């Protein structure tokens, strides 16, 4: 699956939530997510622009691999995930293979649906508020058109293209730890 995604910081999440609902987006739930990101012993995911994480979300655990970003304007990338029945066992498998945790990201996420768009308003611990808009597709043939659809949607909400962020929450957390700005 290809996850076509655009992220932007949000100054007033309550106002944006009201705008989404007025625009016709349907609230579909609130989640609490705790992500542990891992790095590989044989290549540095920060250099290859990949990610491997275990997400604990409302009692479920999911292992996710994210491939390198596919363009220069969005966070579009290949994503593969599978549910984990035994999180401790999965952690032991990863560490036995040499994978090691590099950072944790915790957030509260309010989700909305608007047509093909899956929209999340995130409050990320130690980073602030953000909005992610994504569309999932099976192949990448027409993904630039989908990216443009997302940007047009954001413009209708008063969020311009220039304010979008391509960095992942993981990258921002690591930069904050190192004293850099995102």
Q: Which of these is catalytic: 37, 38, 42, 100?
A: 37
User: The whole model's pTM is what?
Assistant: 0.91
Segment-wise mean pLDDT, segments of 10 residues, the chain, 182 residues: 95 95 96 97 95 95 97 95 96 96 96 96 97 90 90 95 95 88 58
Taking only the tens place, the pLDDT of each residue in 22-55 is: 999 999 999 999 999 999 999 999 999 999 999 9
Q: How far apart, in Å, are the Cα atoms of 47 and each of 51, 92, 151, 164, 166?
A: 10, 25, 27, 22, 15
| Per-residue model confidence (pLDDT) at position 179 | 79
Verify whether residue 37 is a known catalytic residue. Answer: yes
Fold of domain 2-177: Hypothetical Protein Pfu-838710-001 (2.40.320)
């Amino acid at each position: 699956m290809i996850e076509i995604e655009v992220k932007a910081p949000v100054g007033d999440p309550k106002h944006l939530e009201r705008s989404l609902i007025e625009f016709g987006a349907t609230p579909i739930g609130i989640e609490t997510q705790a992500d542990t990101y891992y790095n590989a012993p044989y290549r540095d995911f920060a250099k290859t622009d990949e990610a491997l994480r275990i997400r604990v979300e409302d009692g479920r655990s999911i292992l996710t691999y994210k491939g390198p970003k596919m363009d220069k304007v969005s966070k579009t990338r290949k994503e593969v995930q599978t549910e984990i029945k035994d999180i401790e066992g999965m952690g032991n498998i990863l560490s036995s293979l040499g994978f090691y945790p590099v950072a944790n990201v915790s957030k509260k996420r309010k989700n909305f649906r608007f047509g093909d768009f899956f929209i999340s308003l995130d409050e990320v611990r130690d980073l602030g508020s953000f909005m992610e808009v994504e569309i999932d597709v099976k192949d990448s043939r027409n993904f630039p058109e989908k990216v443009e659809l997302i940007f047009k949607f954001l413009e209708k909400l008063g969020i311009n293209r220039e304010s979008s962020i391509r960095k992942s929450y993981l990258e921002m957390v690591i930069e904050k730890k190192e004293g850099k700005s995102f």
